Amino acid sequence: MRSTGLATFHEDVQLAEKPVIVDFWSPECPPCRRLLPILEGLSNEGIPVFKATIEDEPELAQHYGISALPTLVLFKGGEVVDRLVGLTSKERILNFYNRAA
Protein backbone atom coordinates (compact mmCIF):
# COMPACT_ATOMS: atom_id res chain seq x y z
CA MET A 1 0.00 0.00 0.00
CA ARG A 2 1.45 3.31 -1.07
CA SER A 3 0.60 6.93 -0.61
CA THR A 4 -0.55 8.91 -3.60
CA GLY A 5 -0.92 12.62 -4.15
CA LEU A 6 -1.18 15.22 -6.86
CA ALA A 7 2.31 14.41 -8.14
CA THR A 8 1.65 10.68 -8.66
CA PHE A 9 -2.15 10.44 -8.82
CA HIS A 10 -2.31 10.33 -12.62
CA GLU A 11 0.15 7.44 -12.83
CA ASP A 12 -1.06 5.58 -9.72
CA VAL A 13 -4.79 5.87 -10.24
CA GLN A 14 -5.87 7.31 -13.56
CA LEU A 15 -3.59 5.12 -15.69
CA ALA A 16 -4.02 1.94 -13.64
CA GLU A 17 -4.99 -1.11 -15.69
CA LYS A 18 -7.23 -2.56 -12.99
CA PRO A 19 -9.54 -0.96 -10.43
CA VAL A 20 -7.86 0.99 -7.64
CA ILE A 21 -9.05 1.96 -4.16
CA VAL A 22 -7.94 5.33 -2.79
CA ASP A 23 -8.30 5.75 0.97
CA PHE A 24 -8.80 9.38 1.93
CA TRP A 25 -7.81 9.50 5.59
CA SER A 26 -6.17 11.43 8.41
CA PRO A 27 -3.80 10.18 11.11
CA GLU A 28 -5.97 12.06 13.62
CA CYS A 29 -9.06 10.01 12.69
CA PRO A 30 -9.61 6.94 14.96
CA PRO A 31 -11.82 5.08 12.42
CA CYS A 32 -9.14 5.73 9.77
CA ARG A 33 -6.50 4.13 11.97
CA ARG A 34 -8.77 1.13 12.65
CA LEU A 35 -9.27 0.66 8.90
CA LEU A 36 -5.52 0.67 8.18
CA PRO A 37 -4.81 -3.03 8.98
CA ILE A 38 -7.76 -4.12 6.81
CA LEU A 39 -6.49 -2.09 3.87
CA GLU A 40 -2.92 -3.32 4.39
CA GLY A 41 -4.22 -6.90 4.33
CA LEU A 42 -6.13 -6.29 1.10
CA SER A 43 -3.07 -4.68 -0.45
CA ASN A 44 -0.99 -7.71 0.53
CA GLU A 45 -3.61 -9.86 -1.24
CA GLY A 46 -3.03 -7.94 -4.49
CA ILE A 47 -5.76 -5.30 -4.42
CA PRO A 48 -4.30 -1.92 -5.40
CA VAL A 49 -4.84 0.42 -2.45
CA PHE A 50 -3.43 3.93 -2.26
CA LYS A 51 -3.67 6.34 0.66
CA ALA A 52 -4.22 10.09 0.36
CA THR A 53 -3.87 12.04 3.59
CA ILE A 54 -6.28 14.98 3.53
CA GLU A 55 -3.80 17.19 5.38
CA ASP A 56 -1.16 16.58 2.70
CA GLU A 57 -3.53 16.49 -0.28
CA PRO A 58 -6.36 18.98 0.39
CA GLU A 59 -6.78 19.78 -3.32
CA LEU A 60 -7.26 16.12 -4.17
CA ALA A 61 -9.76 15.67 -1.34
CA GLN A 62 -11.68 18.76 -2.42
CA HIS A 63 -11.69 17.68 -6.08
CA TYR A 64 -13.31 14.35 -5.15
CA GLY A 65 -15.76 15.90 -2.66
CA ILE A 66 -14.41 14.19 0.43
CA SER A 67 -16.48 15.41 3.37
CA ALA A 68 -16.14 12.55 5.89
CA LEU A 69 -13.36 10.21 6.94
CA PRO A 70 -12.44 7.59 6.13
CA THR A 71 -13.69 7.59 2.55
CA LEU A 72 -12.71 4.86 0.12
CA VAL A 73 -13.05 5.88 -3.52
CA LEU A 74 -13.02 3.16 -6.18
CA PHE A 75 -11.56 4.12 -9.55
CA LYS A 76 -11.75 2.14 -12.78
CA GLY A 77 -10.25 3.44 -15.98
CA GLY A 78 -9.37 6.63 -14.15
CA GLU A 79 -13.01 7.37 -13.29
CA VAL A 80 -14.81 7.20 -9.94
CA VAL A 81 -17.19 4.24 -9.95
CA ASP A 82 -18.16 4.03 -6.28
CA ARG A 83 -17.30 5.13 -2.74
CA LEU A 84 -17.62 3.86 0.82
CA VAL A 85 -17.74 6.27 3.75
CA GLY A 86 -16.88 5.33 7.31
CA LEU A 87 -15.35 2.35 9.04
CA THR A 88 -16.34 -0.85 7.28
CA SER A 89 -15.49 -4.54 7.11
CA LYS A 90 -13.03 -6.39 4.91
CA GLU A 91 -15.92 -8.31 3.33
CA ARG A 92 -17.75 -5.13 2.39
CA ILE A 93 -14.58 -3.65 0.86
CA LEU A 94 -13.99 -6.86 -1.12
CA ASN A 95 -17.56 -6.75 -2.47
CA PHE A 96 -17.10 -3.05 -3.25
CA TYR A 97 -13.90 -3.79 -5.18
CA ASN A 98 -15.12 -6.94 -6.94
CA ARG A 99 -18.12 -5.13 -8.43
CA ALA A 100 -15.67 -3.10 -10.54
CA ALA A 101 -13.07 -5.81 -11.20
CA distances in angstroms from 80 to 5, 17, 64, listed in the order given: 16, 14, 9
Query: Does 32 qualify as catalytic in the annotation?
Result: yes
Task: Pick the catalytic residue from 1, 5, 26, 29.
Answer: 29
Task: Pick the catalytic residue from 22, 32, 66, 69.
Answer: 32
φ, ψ at 45 (rounded to 5°)? -90, 0
Query: Does 15 qualify as catalytic in the annotation?
Result: no
Residues noted as catalytic: 29, 32
